[in-house]
Amino acid sequence: APSIRLSPAARSLFDEPLAIAVRGLGPRQPVTLRTSLRDETGELFQASARYQAGDDGQLDLARCPALPGGSFSGLEPMGLLWALQPQKPFWRLVKRDVQSPLLLQLEVFEGHGERPGRLLAQAQHERAFLRDGVRRVPVREGRIRATLFLPP
């Protein structure tokens, strides 16, 4: 059965690279990958890309270019993240509470049609804004308003 492999596996910092691979596909099988997340207000952001697995049924986004017809095309290992677009026009992804991560959903669908084919695999990944152990200290002194982030 197809599966999604992420590195780091379950959680990474928002500005860290995320390696995405799909294993267990058929030789040269056409698939569509879709990422989605909801911001703090609940608005949906999505991106998708069309790929073709290798002869061995493996798909590594660092080596396989996205085919035309999705949110982007070409060799873009992080394309499914930087290409996220809001469903609501003119909406922007703004993170106000950096202490809570964003939950990224990844899905692999069969084929390249306009409507997604059968769901083959799915995974979740947290994109955090603070490394574990970092303390957030609000600073209020006179007219100064700031936030101090202290490492562990």
Residue 151, pLDDT above cutoff 90: yes
Confidence of residue 113 (pLDDT cuts 50, 70, 90): confident
Query: Residue range 128-145: average pLDDT?
Result: 93
Confidence of residue 115 (pLDDT cuts 50, 70, 90): confident
Which pair of structure tokens corresponds to residue 151? 């490492």
Cα separation of the two ends of the chain: 41
DSSP-assigned beta bridge partners for residue 14: none
- Core vs surface per residue 86-118: b (16+ CB within 10 A) or e: eeeeeeeeeeeeeeebbebebbbbbebeeeeee
Q: Which long-range contacts (CB under 8 A, 24 or more apart) does 136-145 make?
A: 136/98, 136/99
Q: Which long-range contacts (CB under 8 A, 24 or more apart) does 134-139 make?
A: 136/98, 136/99
Residue 26: CATH number of its domain:
2.60.40.2240
User: The whole model's pTM is what?
Assistant: 0.88
Residue 77, pLDDT above cutoff 90: yes
State the total domains in the chain: 1
CB 62 within 8 A of CB 34: no
Structural domain of residue 9, as residue ranges?
A: 3-150
> What is the C-alpha separation between 85 and 44, in angstroms, rounded?
8
Query: What does pLDDT average to over the chain?
Result: 95
Look at residue 145 in the predicted model and tell me its pLDDT: 95
